[in-house]
Structure 1
Amino acid sequence: MPQTPKKYYEGAIGFVKGALYLLSVIIIIRIMITLFPEGSRTLFWVIALLGGIGSIYAFSKITEKFSDGTK
């Protein structure tokens, strides 16, 4: 069964969501490396993990609002 334009659109939206999630986690980790250059690495990883999870949650809520508006 050939894909419809709507399926292509949904795939593109999913790709952009994944890219934003990955980019947000990379940015959080880069900020943590800058803030803790020689500090406690355990604290660094805890904060980076929480920041990554928080940013993923925030982006998922934002994209939910955008996708609800397109239906």
Structure 2
Amino acid sequence: MTKEIARLKEELNETDAKMTATYGIEASLPKGNGTSDPTGREVINHERKRKTLRKFENKVDFIDT
């Protein structure tokens, strides 16, 4: 469980920037139909990971005490 806590903390410090190409051949290709807001998607994932991290830390604190 402590390894998972360390992994989640490391993931929370990273950012994932998947932006749409605006120049070159990639700009002329069709775009996906998924969520069009990469920033909003990143915020949702960040909050989900933070909630999981908090849950794991509470479990470890309960076991340690």
- Consecutive unaligned residues of structure 1, counting only runs of 5 or more, are 1-15
Structure possessing the higher radius of gyration over alpha carbons: 2
1:25–1:52 Cα contact (<8 Å) kept:
yes
Percent identical across equivalent pairs? 4
Q: Give the SS at the match of 2:13.
A: helix
User: Aligned residue for 2:11?
Assistant: 24
Higher relative helix content: 1
TM superposition score normalised by structure 2: 0.55
Q: String of CA shifts for 1:22-65, please: whole Å, max 9, x gaps.
A: x32233x22xx2xx2326xx611000001111111000101111
Counterpart selection for 1:38 from 20, 28, 32: 20
- Segments of structure 2 that go 5 or more residues without pairing to the other structure are 22-35
**RMSD of aligned residue pairs (Cα, Å):** 3.0
